[in-house]
Amino acid sequence: MFEQQSFNRTRGAESAAEFDAGLKRHMLRVYNYMASGVLLTGIVAMLVASTPALYQPIFGTPLKWVVMLAPLAFVFLLSFRIEKMSASTAQALFWVFSGLMGLSLASVFLVFTGASIAQTFFVAAIMFLSMSLYGYTTGRDLSKIGSFLIMGLIGVVLASLVNLFLQSGALQMVVSIVGVIVFTGLTAWDTQNIKAQYAEHHGQETNSKLAVFGALSLYLNFVNLFQLLLNFMGQREE
């Protein structure tokens, strides 16, 4: 009897250790996808911004609206269709999405100085890593604030769309302040949610797709946080 209990405890300890190791590998995969996506976005953005033959046909014509809205379409596609996709398809769409975001963000390099972009990127990275680490390590259930963050996200998106036509500096400032708070909180919430989803799914194919979707969530938080911080920290080209 005693030997059986000891065996069960040993198996339980081994299972917990295996789960922790698997979770760490999963999170590392998520962060690798996310970082690779940000790198691809940055490369495309700088390439387009430094090549007049590329950015003039985009930002000097109505094609800019297609470039700006195309990433949003990919977000919805990945969000609602990922369960029916293979892992390889989900990964391919993520890379395409990251490239399209690079086209969209090329204007940042045309408007702001390189020094202020680098400084803002560093600050955004510190904020993102701090909140993601908090979401990964905290024992507090962050799901309680998730609904408020989603409501705030919807408000930020709607206000941003309205301000495309109003071009109000005051509204942009409010959106930036609220947006920084929302995306900072979402970083911690999404990180904890990625852990919870890993615990609920154990298939290799499923976990591969979850890694892509988790990377997409964190990618969006970081990129939006970076863009909103530019409204405070960015110095415009003269």
The confidence score (pLDDT) of residue 205 equals 58
Domain count of the chain?
1
In a domain, 238, yes or no: no
CA 21-27-31 angle, to 5 degrees, is 145
DSSP character for 223? Answer: H
Contact call for residues 153 and 208 (beta carbons, < 8 A) = no
Per-residue pLDDT reduced to its tens digit, 21-36: 888 999 999 999 999 9
The most confident of the ranges 48-57, 82-91, 203-212, 217-226 is 217-226
Residue 42 is assigned to a structural domain of this protein: yes
Q: Is the pLDDT of residue 72 over 80?
A: no
Please indicate, yes or no, if residue 227 is contained in any of the structural domains. Answer: yes
* pLDDT > 80? residue 11: no
Does any domain span residue 39?
yes
- Burial label for 62, CB within 10 Å (0-12, 13-18, 19+), is exposed
Average pLDDT over residues 162-181: 87
Q: Which range of residues forms the domain containing residue 189?
A: 2-233
- Which residues sit opposite 236 in a β-bridge? 112
The reply to whether 86 falls in a domain is: yes
User: pTM for the complete prediction?
Assistant: 0.87
Residues 6+ apart with CB under 8 A from 165: none
Question: Considering only CA atoms, which of 102, 91, 97 is closest in space to residue 44?
Answer: 102
- Does 186 reside within a domain? yes
The CA distances from residue 138 to 133, 144, 171, in Å, are 8, 14, 34
Mean residue pLDDT of the chain comes to 86
